[in-house]
Amino acid sequence: MDQDEGMSAVDNIVTQFNTYEDFLDSQITTVDLYYLEDESLARQLVELGYRGTVEIVKREDFEARKAAIDIARQAERTQKKTKYCFLKEVEF
């Protein structure tokens, strides 16, 4: 997998989950919790790559991509508002 595919996978994960903990929890099964009896330990195992079905995503990578995507969305909304205001002024 090349870097673009890796970033695309991380982007998909980031847009699918609100928090890093939500992502980790999605990789934990009821069987994991039955045997481990500790949600925190189960999250740590997923974070270290010992458990889970998707590639390892570090907390720093998740939070950095989440921030970048939020900034891009905010810039897009601002740009759309600016265009709309401009068009609104032209209609007069």
Tell me the pLDDT tens digit for each residue of 19-73: 999 999 999 999 999 999 999 999 999 999 888 777 788 999 999 999 999 998 8
Q: What is the Cα–Cα distance from 21 to 50, expressed in whole angstroms?
A: 16
Cα 33 to Cα 27: distance, rounded to the nearest angstrom: 11
Q: Supply 37's token pair.
A: 């009896």
- Domains of the chain, by residue range, sit at 3-91
**One-letter identity of residue 56:** I
Contact call for residues 54 and 1 (beta carbons, < 8 A): no
Which of the four pLDDT bands, split at 50, 70 and 90, describes residue 84? Answer: low
Q: What is the pTM of this model?
A: 0.70
Span 14-19, average pLDDT: 92
CB 27 within 8 A of CB 53: yes
